Amino acid sequence: EPAKCSNSFASCWWQMAGWRAAALLACVVMCLMPTVRADAVELTAASFDTKIEEAGDVIWLMKFYAPWCGHCKRLAPVWDAAENIISKKGLKVRFGSVDCTVHKATCKRYGVSSYPVLKVMKDIGKTVTDYRGGRTEDAVIEYATRIAGPVYKEVKTAKELKAFVSQHKASFVYLRGSDVAPEEDETWAKVREAAQQMYDVTSFAVAPEDAAEDVGVKITHKLKPLKEDDAVGGRLLVFRKEEAKCYPDTRALTVEDLVFWIDGHRSELLPLIDATNYRDLANRGKPIAIAVLRGSKAKEGSDEASAVPVEKIPINSEFLQSIKGVAREMEEHFSFGYLDGKRWEKFAEQYGVSQRVLPRMLLINATTDHFLPLPVDVKGPRGTTEYLGKVASGEVKMQRTWTSAFKVAAQGYWEYIGAGLMILIFTPIMYMFWSESKADAKRKRDEQKLKEADKDK
């Protein structure tokens, strides 16, 4: 705001007019300045292959959508905003969109049956995989940055390794043995191939084995700390907070097994579950064990954000501490996490977990639509571990969800209906063929008798 005028009225008026003119000129200049905007490219059936080929060696994040879809409408501004940021960064990632209500053949070609579907396309569209990131602007940007970067990072010293693992909630490091040349290291070749499949959702590094000597974390193998004379060279480790865990030598060293193990260990040991990560945690090829905690209430007259975090409530804190030990022992068979039982009340109740009995463990197998609340008499880390062991071995069976049971019943019903229809349709047809065949045989017999009678005459 201009300083107050101390001169005559005329002089003051001219000063104020000058300020107004300057402000107006600034607004005009800002409006005329070009803005950097790079919304996602709208592709059609005719332009799809051409645009991808013309873009050359770039990675495409492709969104298949329908204009009437509510989720698609909410994602659209996020998708465009992320494209704008990635474009400014100069990364070799392009964003595309395809309207599936118009270009149905293109969407069918990529197996799109619901909306929105997000795909990652590399090698000029020859390699197509599912998008596995979040759907907030920051999550999309993080995912695009990951896929545009290297598969793994080379670190050489303990200081560099410490800095690398401190940047991530979970990261994987392969420690090269000093007695094996990199080009002859078969284990590293398999780890590198597994990293190629997983680097879009987690972080990888390779380091010399002596870099782990002064990294400042406890390294465990089979739940026991490694001894000083135990070799770490040739091992894959997952680093999470202040601990590191070795890939178990009891598991086969195949790329498939490595990918499964990495997928199951790429988050914190016991993360907070919310709407942004539940589906990711639940779809890792194994059931998820959820600690449903007692929720807290905000003080009267204050907003919900002022409520005490669920993990800070004494009864929950004690429960989580015991479950962490269970998670360390059983995470080869289950993913683990915890959630606010009050905020997720309806979710918990549909799986038979009442607010009156919290905290409590709940098992969900999202792949098979099975669930199991742990019985209230299963208590303590040892009891919980033993019970989960029985579930993992199949001794204790999980229950089907109502929707799953309905699907199975409906499928059986329609199978019976289908079988009935088949019988109704084919029985008359078969009877007609049988009757015609019988009549034909009778005609032939009658003809034969007539021929024999003629011969006798």
Assign residue 61 the CATH number of its domain: 3.40.30.10
Q: Domain limits at 373? A: 278-400
Whether the ω angle into residue 116 lies within 30 degrees of 0, i.e. cis, is: yes
Which of 375, 400, 425 marks a domain boundary? 400
Q: Which residues contact 368 (CB under 8 A, 6 or more apart)?
A: 398, 404
2 domain residue, yes or no: no
352 in Cβ contact with 345 (< 8 Å) = no
296 and 396 share one domain: yes
208 domain residue, yes or no: yes
379 domain residue, yes or no: yes
State how far the alpha carbon of 88 is from the alpha carbons of 84, 186, 211, 355, in Å. 6, 40, 36, 48
204 domain residue, yes or no: yes
> Given CA atoms 334, 339, 344, 349 in this order, what sign does their dihedral have?
positive
341 and 255 share one domain: no
State how far the alpha carbon of 27 is from the alpha carbons of 14, 16, 19, 30, 32, in Å. 20, 17, 12, 5, 9
202 in Cβ contact with 258 (< 8 Å) = no
453 domain residue, yes or no: no
441 domain residue, yes or no: no
210 and 282 share one domain: no
235 and 287 share one domain: no
77 and 132 share one domain: yes
Half-sphere exposure of 390 (CA within 13 A, CB side): 12
Residue 39: what pLDDT?
A: 61
97 domain residue, yes or no: yes
10 domain residue, yes or no: no
134 and 49 share one domain: yes
User: Along the 457 residues of the chain, how does pLDDT read in single tens digits?
Assistant: 344 444 444 454 445 555 555 555 554 444 444 443 446 789 999 999 999 999 999 999 999 999 999 999 999 999 999 999 999 999 999 999 999 999 999 999 999 999 999 999 999 999 999 999 988 999 999 999 999 999 999 999 999 999 999 999 999 999 998 888 888 899 999 999 999 999 999 999 999 998 888 788 888 988 888 887 788 899 999 999 878 999 998 899 999 999 999 999 999 999 999 888 898 898 888 999 999 999 876 555 555 555 788 999 999 999 999 999 999 999 999 999 999 999 999 999 999 999 889 999 999 999 888 999 999 999 899 999 999 999 999 999 999 876 544 444 455 555 556 666 777 777 778 777 777 777 777 677 666 666 666 666 5
- Cα(21)–Cα(266) distance, rounded to whole angstroms? 58
200 and 257 share one domain: yes
128 and 162 share one domain: no
State how far the alpha carbon of 412 is from the alpha carbons of 5, 59, 407, 419, 448, in Å. 88, 44, 8, 10, 52
What's the gap between Cα 196 and its chain centre? Answer: 17
20 in Cβ contact with 12 (< 8 Å) = no
**What does the DSSP assignment read for 118-136?**
EEEEETTTTEEEE--S-SS
Residue 429: what pLDDT?
A: 80
109 and 164 share one domain: no
286 and 392 share one domain: yes
- DSSP code at position 33: S
175 and 140 share one domain: no
Residue 425 identity: I
Q: Is 16 helix (H, G, I), strand (E, B) or coil?
A: helix
Measuring CA to CA, which residue among 318, 450, 325, 303 is closest to residue 385? Answer: 325
199 in Cβ contact with 146 (< 8 Å) = yes
What is the total count of domains within the chain?
3
- Please give the structure tokens belonging to residue 388: 């989960």
Half-sphere exposure of 307 (CA within 13 A, CB side): 15
72 and 143 share one domain: yes
Which of 148, 169, 186 marks a domain boundary? 148
Which of 97, 117, 148 marks a domain boundary? 148
The label of the residue with tokens 């409006």 reads 31
Backbone region of residue 156 per phi and psi (left: phi > 0; alpha: psi in -120 to 50; beta: other values)? alpha
The label of the residue with tokens 């803005």 reads 35
